[in-house]
Amino acid sequence: MTKVYWTATSKNGKTGNIPGAWIGENKEECRQSCKESGCPLFRKEIAEKLGLLPCYAHVGRVNMAFSSVIKAAKLNPERYSLDSAFSKAARSARVGRFSVIGNAGILSMDEVKDIKKGFKRWNLGVLGYFYGWKKYSHLKKFLMASTASIRDADNAISQGFRPATVLPANFKDEVFETPNGNIGLQCLAITQKNINCNQCGLCVREWNPLKELKRLKAMGIVSKKVYKRIKNHPKAKSLIIGFVTHR
């Protein structure tokens, strides 16, 4: 069984104060999940070859925080269970992050089902991405598929995934279309001020992106023009979320 630690809160300004998952009993197991997925961000040299930034999670603050979680869980394992963490989450939390570190592809279908039930029990949406969509089709309806190009995003959509993707460094528009005629929106935390994932919710795979967009339009975060363009698009339900993270 795959070990997943759950924490109740987060100081990450982009995601907002939400609970989160840390995959792997220890650093080796966590890194193994990333390696097995074929994530291009795992190895610095591969990421750089593709013009991408290597994963920040295995170095710096996230990595240090993971060390603390592993250490503290040895003394008090119950504190890091899903129910314990979710019960202590901020009242404002609408979503939980799956995951802060590690690749969810390592989880079996039964483990995914259990986690889904946990999120449902606490009325939280599952916010997260995974690399390796060709390998982990059981996550199709559970998480957003991470892709390294819009062509790869097109391929993922043709297989029933909803993807997030990397956009060229000089990309400035809010909305984009792909060679296969799919539609995408640049991450709102990048294009708008004062919006985090907890408020946004567009990367919750199980939620209807059009419903979320309508709510965001009512809040004045998404313009009427952008909402209308996406709403009227035939592929709106598989809305891609784009990130400018190129070097």
Residues forming the site for ligand SF4 (CB under 6 A)? 34, 37, 39, 41-42, 55, 57, 101-103, 131, 187-189, 195, 197, 200-203, 241
Q: How far is the CB of 7 from ligand SF4 (least distance, A)?
A: 15
Between CA 217 and CA 137 the distance in angstroms is 32
For 209: left if phi > 0, alpha if psi spans -120 to 50, otherwise beta; the answer is alpha
In the chain, the largest separation of any two C-alpha atoms, in whole Å, equals 54
| Closer to ligand SF4 by Cβ: residue 41 or 183 | 41
- Shorter beta-carbon distance to ligand SF4: residue 139 or 241: 241
* Nearer of residues 84 and 215 to ligand SF4, judged by Cβ: 215
Sheet holding 95-101, edge to edge: 4-7, 20-23, 95-101, 125-127
Please say which residue, 82 or 195, places its beta carbon nearer to ligand SF4. Answer: 195
What is the Cα–Cα distance from 107 to 21, expressed in whole angstroms? 12
Sign of CA dihedral 122, 125, 127, 132: positive
Q: How far is the CB of 115 from ligand SF4 (least distance, A)?
A: 17
In angstroms, give the least distance from the CB of 203 to ligand SF4: 3
Least distance between ligand SF4 and beta carbon 193 (Å): 12
